[in-house]
Amino acid sequence: MELSQVKEKQIFKEKRSYRKKYYIETYGCQMNVADSELIEAMLENEGYIVSNDPWKSDVIFINTCSIREKAEEKIHSQLGRWDLIKKQKPEILIGVLGCMAQNLKQDLLENRPFVDIVLGPDSYRNLPTLLKRKLKDRNSIVDTKLSRFEVYEGLFPNRRNGINAWISIMRGCDKFCTFCIVPFTRGRERSRSLDSILFEAKQAIKDGFREITLLGQNVNSYNYNQYKFHNLLERVAKIPGVDRIRYTSPHPQDITDDLLQVMSQYDNISNYIHLPLQSGNNRILKRMHRSYTQNDFLVLVEKIRENLPGVGISTDIIVGFPGETEEEFLDTIYVMEKVKFDSAFTFKYSPRLGTKAYEYDDQISENIKKCRLEKIIKLQKEHSLIRNSKLLGTIQTILVEKESKMSKKQWAGRTDSNKWVIFDKGNVNVNDLVKVDIKDAKGISLRGELINEVKAA
C-alpha cells in the first residue's frame, strides 16, 4: 500500500472514531423492521454510524412491539440489561421506539428513569432534532402523539440485506378487532401516495434488490385518491426488474376479485396469500369484531384457489379468546381441516389493556389455552406436510436468499408460493432466480436439486 493510501486510511479511521455511533434493536412485525430502516437512514444523514455493540455506542434504540404480553416481556428484560449499560456509561442515550412506547409511556417514565427518549411510531421524523436537544437538556423526551397523516413521505429507508426491499405503503388500522392493540399503538389508517411508492420501488431495483414486499397493518386496505391496492400492485408488477412481489398483512375482508385477477395476471407477484382466520366459530368471530363468518372464509379460500392454482395460503389463529367453549374451539379445528393451510402462526389469546376483549369477564384459563394451542400446532404440522408434499417432483422457481443454516454448502430460498427450499449451492449466487427440482418434503423446509439458473442477477 502506498504511503498516501495509508495516510488516507488513517484519516478515515480517525474521522470515523469522531462520529457518533448508534445501535438499534428491532422487535415485532415487518412494519417495525421497515421503520427501523427509516430511522437508520435519518441517523446516518445526521452523521451517525451504525454499531453492532450497544456497549460501544453513543445512542441505543429499541424498537418495540405490544402485540402480546410475551413481546412486551422481552422488551422489559432487554431494558433491564440496558439499565446496566447506563449505570456504567451514564452519557449513553437510550431510546424506546415503536408500539410499546405509544402504549406504555407512563410506565416507562415512572419505572425506567434511565430511558431518555420515548417515541411512538408517528414521531420518528423529529428524531434528529430531539437528539440534538437531548445533548443539551437531560430531561426525558416523550412524543407519542399519533398522526392522521404521517406516512413518512419524502424519507427513504437505509436497506442492508440486498434481496428484499420492504416498502411501507400504508400505516395504521381502523378495524378494531376486540383483541388487538394495533389500532391504539399505530393509530388510524392512512396511505402513501402512489407516486412515492413507485419511486421507492424503482430505486430499490436500481440498488440491486430483486424482491419487493409491500407492507401495511392492513396492506390491502390501501386507498390513495382513486387507487386501490390492486391498482398499486399492478403498477409495481410492471416495473422492469422486479422478480418477486409479496405483500403483508392483508385482511380477508379486502381480498377483492380485482386483487385476485391482478395476482393471476402477473408472474412476478408471489402466488401466496396470508389469510388470517383468528377463529372458525361465528360467535367468536363476531365477538372478535372480525367482519366475516366461517362460511364467508371458506368460500373465499375456495375462490382464491380457483383463481390462483397452486397458491400458498397461510393464516393466523388465536385460541382461548374470552368465552371460547370447547365446541367453539372445535370449529377452528373444523376450518383448519377443511382448508389445510400451508402454514399457520398460532397464538394463545393475550389480554391487552385498553382493548375491548380485555374487559370481558369470561377469560379462559392458561391451561386450557395451552392445551388448545398444542392441538392446533400438531394439526398444522400434519397439514403443512400434506401441502408440501404436493410439490414433490415439481420444478419450482426459487429466489436464492441466503446460506442454509444447516450447511455452508447449501442455499435457502423460497418458492413462488412462499415455501423454503434447501439445495446444494452449485454455481449460483444469492439473488439469482433459479429452477429447483423438489426431491423431499418431509421436514419444515423442502429439499431440492438445482436444475439451472433462470436469470443472472
Interface with ligand SF4 (CB under 6 A): 173, 175-177, 180, 182-183, 217-218, 251
Which of ligand F3S, ligand SAH, ligand SF4, none binds 248 (CB below 5-8 Å, type-dependent)? none
347 binds ligand SAH (CB under 6 A): yes
By CB under 6 A, residue 179 contacts ligand SAH: yes
Subset of 204-243 contacting ligand F3S (CB under 6 A) = 217
Candidates 180, 259, 284, 339: give the one binding ligand SAH (CB under 6 A). 180
Cβ 204 to ligand SAH shortest distance, Å: 24
- Shortest Å, Cβ 161 to ligand F3S: 19
CB of 217 to ligand SF4, least distance (A): 5
State the residue for C-alpha cell 389480554.
Answer: 351
* Total residue count of the chain as it appears in this document: 457
CB atoms within 10 A of CB 447: 17
Q: For residues 272 and 411, which CB has a smaller minimum distance to ligand SAH in the complex? A: 272
Query: Which region among 83-91, 179-187, 238-246, 445-453 touches ligand F3S (by CB under 6 A)?
Result: 179-187
**Can you give the three-state secondary structure of the chain, one letter per residue?**
CCHHHHHHHHHHHHHHHHCCEEEEEECCCHHHHHHHHHHHHHHHHCCCEECCCHHHCCEEEEEECCCCHHHHHHHHHHHHHHHHHHHHCCCCEEEEEEHHHHHHHHHHHHHCCCCCEEECCCCHHHHHHHHHHHHHCCCCEEECCCCCCCCCCCCCCCCCCCCEEEEECEECCCCCCCCCCHHHHHCCCEECCHHHHHHHHHHHHHCCCCEEEEECCCHHHCEECCEEHHHHHHHHHCCCCCCEEEEECCCHHHCCHHHHHHHHHCCCECCEEECCCECCCHHHHHHHCCCCCHHHHHHHHHHHHHHCCCCEEEEEEEECCCCCCHHHHHHHHHHHHHHCCCEEEEEECCCCCCCHHHHCCCCCCHHHHHHHHHHHHHHHHHHHHHHHHCCCCCEEEEEEEEECCCCCCEEEEECCCCCEEEEECCCCCCCCEEEEEEEECCCCCEEEEEEEEEECC
Q: Build a one-symbol-per-residue string for 306-325: x at contacts with ligand SAH by CB under 6 A, - elsewhere.
A: ----------x-x-------
Q: How far is the CB of 63 from ligand F3S (least distance, A)?
A: 8
Q: How far is the CB of 68 from ligand SF4 (least distance, A)?
A: 12
Q: Which is nearer to ligand SF4, 251 or 419 (CB)?
A: 251
Minimum Å gap between C-beta 285 and ligand SF4 is 12
Identity of the residue, 209 or 347, whose beta carbon is nearer to ligand F3S in the bound complex: 347
Q: Which does 32 bind (CB under 5 to 8 A by kind): ligand SAH, ligand SF4, ligand F3S, none?
A: ligand F3S
Nearer to ligand F3S, 69 or 267 (CB): 69
Which residue from 8, 14, 455 is spatially nearest to 240, judged by alpha carbons?
A: 455
Q: Which of 103, 178, 185, 218 binds ligand SAH (CB under 6 A)?
A: 218
Per-residue interface string for the shown chain with ligand SAH, residues 349-368, x marking contact by CB under 6 A: xx-x----------------
Member of 62, 67, 167, 301 binding ligand F3S (CB under 6 A): 67
* Minimum CB distance to ligand F3S smaller for 98 or for 250: 98
Which one of ligand F3S, ligand SF4, ligand SAH, none interacts with residue 350, CB within 5 to 8 A by kind?
Answer: ligand SAH
Among the candidate windows 65-73, 271-279, 359-367, 385-393, which touches ligand F3S by CB under 6 A?
65-73
- Contact between 251 and ligand SAH by CB under 6 A: the answer reads yes
Which residues, including other chains, have CB under 8 Å from residue 100's CB and lie 6 or more apart? 64, 65, 66, 71, 72, 75, 108, 185
Of 58 and 324, CB closest to ligand SAH: 324
Binding residues for ligand F3S (CB under 6 A): 28-29, 31-32, 65-67, 98-99, 181-182, 185-186, 217
